[in-house]
Amino acid sequence: MLLKLELENFLSFKDRQIFSLVADYNRSEIFNDNILGKIPSIATNKNQYILNGGIIYGSNAGGKTNFIVGVGVLKNLVTSSENDHILKNNFGFHFSDRFKPSILNIELIKEIEEEKYFINYQLEFVKNKISKERISYRDVLKTKLSEEKVIFEREGQRITTFDLSLKPIINYFEPRNFIDETLMYNFVNKINYEFFEESITGKAYQILKACYDYIDKDIIILDDEFDKSYIAENLKHDESLKDQILAALDDIDIKIDDFDIVDTTEQEIENFLADIEGDIPDELKESFINRRRKNRSYTIKTLRTIEGVSYSLDLRQESLGTIKFIHEFIQIFDCLTNHKLYIVDEIENHYHPMIQRYTLDLFLNQSDTKAQFIFTTHNTDFLEMNNMSKEQIWFIQKDNQLLQSELYSLAEFQDVSYQNHNWRNMYNEGRLGAIPKVIY
């Protein structure tokens, strides 16, 4: 589960900013309804409580998207070797020292073989290189966290600290050039697992791999693209998921009775080979066939019965909103089922207000999952819903003189209560900040 995300010197965020899904105990019923677990505080050993998500408000160009971009850059740098197109950009705050490193940091809790670990991963980078990378962990004990143990720490090309169990892997990488790649990526994707079997079965590597897997697989950032093959493969091979999608469509008043999904890959290969004029080398044929089988093709039809008559419609003839809903809700149910983090920038750009509320309720009303969410939004209806705590409401305020973005939560307003204040009115009146100063 996600605990914290931190950014510093990244796009509009000059100073260190912290988004947290852990908070000290609050007696309010809403707070307690949204707790997923607890963890001892590093500073006090008192329990802090892990929340199921947060919503971020802010004006246009205030920095909300920059926050999401920061999470995406962290994810890409950790899980991809093709970082040239990322690192050639200067993500530093543009109105001061642009050569200062950008810093991204994530804290999370992972369970491995029934033991829980508090994991911290920090990445610093400047144009064309990773300048610092560090991963550490603490054992989560019954009443406290253990002392911090460093798995590895690097400065540029030099690995300065590491767990002794990783020494064979460290020795393998030290002579190599990895200045524009994360060690996290290299340790997971560029080693011979059989050769380094003793190291990878050790505790330090298992925690490193769990952190990598969380960033790679458990952080889902919604984008505006949709992939027909992704829809087809998920619905064709998971009957339970298909039933969930059909039920969700029915919940939001979209009538589809079923999907007809046909894999057309082999037929397309057969047609292509039949249409070839003249001989082509066998290796080219084999290469084409392998590529087509790897990236399979499908037809998807939606099925409806109206007044006793059955109708089918190619998915491409459905509304764009329906197609996006199907694609995005496959991701949402994946998050809910597999305890992932779902991130959406400006949820109102994707759904009608009632569907926004429906989507949020799926996460807030969960009973048997540890899924979390982060939504940015302009929709002030969420401030009236009475089912999110102060600690879950966040704001990004941009100083239009210094052009810096600041991230803070409603919980920082000590005098704002649950019973005696209308949060929506306070926000619209500008008393909480993070709104545009519009001149009429």
Three-state secondary structure readout of 244-282: HHHHHHHHCCCCCCEEEEEECHHHHHHHHHHHCCCCCCH
Q: State residue 280's pLDDT score.
A: 75
Q: Tell me if residue 304 falls in helix, strand or coil.
A: strand
Question: What is the enclosing helix (H) or strand (E) of 31?
Answer: helix 29-33
The residue type at 330 = I
Give the pLDDT confidence score for residue 98 in this predicted structure. 65
Query: Helix-strand-coil percent breakdown of the chain, rounded to 5?
Result: 35, 30, 35
- Contact between residue 232 and residue 314 where contact means Cβ atoms under 8 Å apart: no
Cα 298 to Cα 263: distance, rounded to the nearest angstrom? 5
From the number of C-beta atoms within 10 Å of its C-beta (0-12, 13-18, 19+), residue 298 rates as middle
CA 399 – CA 406 distance, rounded (Å)? 8
CB-CB contact of 173 with 162 (8 Å): no
Task: Give kind and range of the element (H or E) at residue 291.
Answer: helix 282-294
Are 439 and 400 in contact by the 8 Å Cβ rule? The answer is: no
The pLDDT of residue 95: 83
Q: Where in the chain is the domain with CATH 3.40.50?
A: 1-222+345-440
Which residues make Cβ contacts (< 8 Å) with residue 205, sequence separation at least 6? 151, 165, 166, 169, 187, 199
Q: What is the rounded CA–CA span in Å between residue 138 and residue 144? A: 10
What lies within 8 Å, CB to CB, of 78 at 6+ separation is: 121, 123, 182, 184, 185, 212, 215, 216
Q: Are the C-beta atoms of 376 and 348 separated by less than 8 Å? A: no
Q: What is the pTM of this model?
A: 0.92
Tell me how far apart the terminal alpha carbons of the chain are, to the nearest angstrom.
44
pLDDT along the chain (440 residues), means of 10: 96 95 90 92 88 95 94 93 74 79 96 95 90 96 93 94 95 87 93 93 96 97 84 92 94 93 90 74 82 89 93 91 90 94 90 89 87 95 86 94 94 86 90 78
42's tokens: 């590093």
DSSP H/E element including 311: strand 309-314
The pLDDT, as a whole number, for residue 292 is 84
Q: Does CATH number 3.20.20 belong to domain 1-222+345-440?
A: no
Distance between CA atoms of 104 and 145, rounded to whole angstroms?
Answer: 23
Let me know how many helices (H) and strands (E) the chain has, helices first: 14, 19
Classify the phi-psi angles of 9: left when phi > 0, otherwise alpha if psi is within -120 to 50, otherwise beta.
left
**Count of Cβ atoms closer than 10 Å to residue 254 Cβ:** 17
8 Å CB contact between 74 and 104: yes
| Distant-in-sequence contacts of 200-204, Cβ < 8 A, 24+ apart | 202/163, 202/165, 202/166, 203/165, 204/149, 204/151, 204/163, 204/165, 204/166
Q: What is the DSSP string of 82-119?
A: --HHHHTS--S-TTS-TTSPEEEEEEEEEEETTEEEEE
Strand partners, 134: 122, 153
